[in-house]
Amino acid sequence: MYHISVGVTRIQVTNAQIANISATLSAYLVCAFFPAACTSHSSGSASYLDIYPLPVATKQYQIVETTSPLPFPQGSELPITTAPGEIVPASFVLHSGELLTGITIRASSLKGAHGSVIPSGNVDVRVVKTWYQASDGNCSCNVGKYLIPEILVKDDALVTTRQQKSFLRATIGGTAQYIDITTPGSKVPRESNVQDADTLQEFSMAAGTNKQIWLTTRVPPGLPAGPYAGSISVLAQGKPAKTVTLRVTVLPFTLAPSLVEQSIYYRAQLKSSCSTLESDCKTSAQMAAELTDMREHGIQYPTVYDSSSSALLPARLSLMRNVGLPTDKIYQLGETPESMGVKDPRAWDAVVREWQRIASANGWGQVYTYGWDEATGATFDSQLPVFDVIHANGGKIFNSVPDAATATRPGIEKLDVVVLYGDRILSSDVAQVHRTNSKVFMYGGPFTDFENPEYVRNHYGFGLLYKGFDGAMNYAYQDGGRAGNDAWNDFLANATGGARNLEWTYPTTNGVVDTLQWEGYREAVNDIRYASTLAVRKGWSKAQLLSYLRGLPTLGENPNSIDAAATRQKIIDEILAN
């Protein structure tokens, strides 16, 4: 017998029980207490299940269970265009005409001409989960409690919602519990085990509801160009299968590396063990999973927060190398003027030499040291003597700069990389900083607390390139679980001014859970890679590429006006015509 209490913060079940009830509990409860919900009230369909392909996977549709009508028509095909070696998204929405249980989704192999195949295992299927967050995903200024789609999970039961709260499944002492992650101050207990499934689990749908499905297709490198097709089958208990055809057009070229350097603030420090799920402490298994996740989303240079005195720093650098990240540079925040002080600049001689020794001993190249975070005025000026010492010892410097005024302040030329706050920054601002011969990266335009894949794609893709930035280094891959808060609870106990967790992903005990906006970032990186490929094909410099891009009607100074999908297709057409 299961005892379910309404209004409490935890439901306790055994591990065996959770496997049996997780996929069907919520739908059965709806029908038990609200029988009318088991009869569809959808005016557009008499089918038990309808499929609605999304025209552009990363558009900000914000589909929740009750969205009606859906803003796109029913369909039976998912067309995508991709280059060999690319990871490409597609998405569709299921709408149920009646209570459905035991739903599962299977992808077939995608077959092309002459026997070429994209294996079925290269098509990853996840559920887009809706939950309560502290902003609406359309403006950080909209602070409150909003039910929005964000996380991508294999197990729909990892997070549940009821009574305007979200709950995360955690195993504590062998017992699975659902922990309140909406009430301010509520936290996942220490030593909890939180894991998503490795494969898609069965799920249920109440009548007249929606469920968004996310597909990620990994196109093998070297795959012959041409059309490929396979089926995505949706099966529910006692019902015939519904299918949608996945059509992949593989292009006859591979993507060039991004002309824009891809970095990100990664707060994690490698530890032998971590008692909580948070941004700053990672075991080797967690860090390896997250570094792999970053690489697969286009990140080349995640920052390093470990101190040079950490005995695990060499192991951390090995993890970075082993997942395939470049080894020519390190962006380090383990020792900074803010943490060490600026009163004795000569003390930095030893710091810089030690970082160079560690880098060289482990096969790494140039070390960049971080300045005083977002320093302005006299604080910015106070670190300039430290910068001189770092340069004198062969080091380089990167620093966040929070406004255009500081970006033109005397002394800014001592920065090798200006990480410029990107909100409302114009092409002319970037060009002015370039006169100091510094590279210019962008952060905060938006930060990672913005659940909007379209906005992220536009601002960190063609928008970033259009304005002439040299790189991206947003804050942060994860910033959650610090200062008495919880990485999974967006409603901070000590929030001021709408402060929230800054997370493009969420930590688990053995890996990571991705988000829609993180998928938007991968598409942003690939947008830049398509443009970079065009530059290579044409023999253009970056300046010549920018001149071309600034002449396209689908782009503009305001990233919100960008049509990224149309721009990418225009570039593809240009490459094929070359």
**pLDDT band at 2, cuts 50/70/90?**
very low
pLDDT at 274 over 90: yes
pLDDT tens track for 29-62:
444 444 444 444 343 445 999 999 999 999 999 9
- pTM listed for this prediction: 0.93
Q: If you average pLDDT over residues 255-278, what whole number do you get?
A: 98
Would you state the structure tokens that stand for residue 57, as one six-digit string?
């996977």
Element (H, E) at 21: helix 15-21
pLDDT at 15 over 80: no
Q: If you average pLDDT over residues 551-574, what whole number do you get?
A: 98
Q: If you average pLDDT over residues 175-200, what whole number do you get?
A: 97
Q: If you average pLDDT over residues 251-257, what whole number do you get?
A: 98
Q: If you average pLDDT over residues 396-400, what whole number do you get?
A: 98
Q: Rounded to 5 degrees, what angle do the CA atoms 265, 271, 276 make?
A: 80
Would you state the structure tokens that stand for residue 149, as one six-digit string?
């789609």
**pLDDT band at 140, cuts 50/70/90?**
confident
- One DSSP character per residue, 524-554 reads HHHHHHHHHHHHHHHT--HHHHHHHHTT-TT
Name the burial class of residue 173, with classes exposed (0-12), middle (13-18) and buried (19+) by CB atoms within 10 angstroms of its CB.
exposed
Q: Using the Cα atoms of residue 70, residue 71, residue 77 and residue 81 in order, give the sign of their dihedral.
A: negative
Which CATH architecture describes the domain 12-250?
A: Sandwich (2.60)
pLDDT of residue 578: 87
Nearest to 18 by CA among 235, 194, 275, 274: 194
Which of the residue ranges 18-32, 306-320, 346-360 would you say has the lowest mean pLDDT? 18-32
The better pLDDT of the pair 340, 39 is held by 340
Q: If you average pLDDT over residues 168-194, what whole number do you get?
A: 96
Would you state the structure tokens that stand for residue 323, as one six-digit string?
């997942």
Please determine, looking at this structure, whether the domain spanning 263-526 carries the CATH number 3.20.20.80: yes
**pLDDT band at 141, cuts 50/70/90?**
confident
Max alpha carbon distance in the chain (Å)? 77
Taking the C-alpha atoms of residue 327 and residue 320, their distance in angstroms, rounded to an integer, is 8
pLDDT of residue 8: 36
Cβ atoms of 293 and 514 within 8 Å: the answer is yes
pLDDT of residue 139: 85
Of the segments 27-31, 382-386, 497-501, which one has the largest average pLDDT value?
382-386
pLDDT at 66 over 70: yes
**pLDDT band at 126, cuts 50/70/90?**
very high
pLDDT of residue 498: 67
pLDDT tens track for 415-429:
999 999 999 999 999
HSE-up of residue 29 (Cα within 13 Å, Cβ side): 14
Identity (one letter) of the amino acid at 477? Y
pLDDT at 246 over 70: yes
pLDDT at 6 over 50: no
Q: If you average pLDDT over residues 86-102, what whole number do you get?
A: 98
pLDDT at 393 over 50: yes
pLDDT of residue 375: 98
pLDDT at 446 over 80: yes
341: left (phi over 0), alpha (psi -120 to 50) or beta: left
pLDDT of residue 493: 76
pLDDT at 21 over 70: no
Length of the chain counted residue by residue: 578
Q: If you average pLDDT over residues 537-547, what whole number do you get?
A: 98
Tell me what the pLDDT averaged over the chain comes to.
92
pLDDT of residue 46: 56
pLDDT at 16 over 90: no
pLDDT at 10 over 50: no
Domain regions of the chain by residue span: 12-250, 263-526
The better pLDDT of the pair 181, 39 is held by 181
